[in-house]
Amino acid sequence: MIEFIRTNYPSIELDDNISSDLASRTLTHRVAGRHRFLQPHHIQQSIFFIRTGVIRSYSLKRGLEFTDWIFSTGDIMLDTMSFFLEKEAGLFLETTSSSVVFEIQKKDFQYLYEKYSIFKEIIDHSLFELDKRKKEHTHDLSVLTGFERYQKFMTFQAHLDGNIQGNHLAPYLGVTADHLTKIKKLFSS
């Protein structure tokens, strides 16, 4: 977790106290694709930080999977309503590829958040950035064409393309899998 912070927040200095507390309160998971960190009707009891890999947030509707968000390296991963308000989750959090994920359980998270202003600053900044990206994505779904959304995805998140199946990426981009195939052909020509 210390390496994660140093990589993603290079301007932040961690003293020995927080470094020791973080090391003792962080679990590391090395998991294969299709590992679930959360599923519907459960309450998220830990917060996760993605060291490497890709995790998608999705729900089931009429037996079909609908990806609504893609988390990747450097992201904080959580269902905010479930983690902070202890509401049952309505979604799955599942890896799409081999991943390394750091976990801090809720009681340890609360301890670190209250004790260390620097940890609070990291969390608040991470949540702010996540919220900003989600709002931008929602806006893009309403104003950009499917091709423009894919073009933007390939500009800013091209490294994810090989780590997520087309049928998982399509709902995230607001298109059908068939439409995504056509968009990819147009994009590559």
pLDDT in tens, 136-188: 999 999 999 999 999 999 999 988 878 899 999 999 999 999 999 999 999 98
Question: How do the domains of the chain map onto residue ranges?
Answer: 2-130, 144-189
Q: How confident is the model at residue 98 (pLDDT cuts 50, 70, 90)?
A: very high
Place of tokens 């056509």: 182
Report pLDDT for 162.
83
Looking at domain 2-130, does it have CATH number 2.60.120.10? yes
Provide the token pair at 111: 């301890």
Nearest to 23 by CA among 50, 44, 5, 45: 5
For 32-146, strand residue ranges (E) read 36-38, 46-52, 54-61, 64-72, 76-77, 92-95, 99-105
Report pLDDT for 39.
97
pLDDT per residue as tens digits for the range 9-36: 999 999 999 999 999 999 999 999 999 9
Provide the 3-class DSSP secondary structure of residue 10: coil
Mean pLDDT of 77-92: 97
pLDDT at residue 72 is higher than 90: yes
Report pLDDT for 75.
96
Report pLDDT for 159.
84
pLDDT at residue 189 is higher than 90: no
Report pLDDT for 161.
79
Provide the token pair at 79: 């269902």
Share of the chain above pLDDT 90, in %: 94
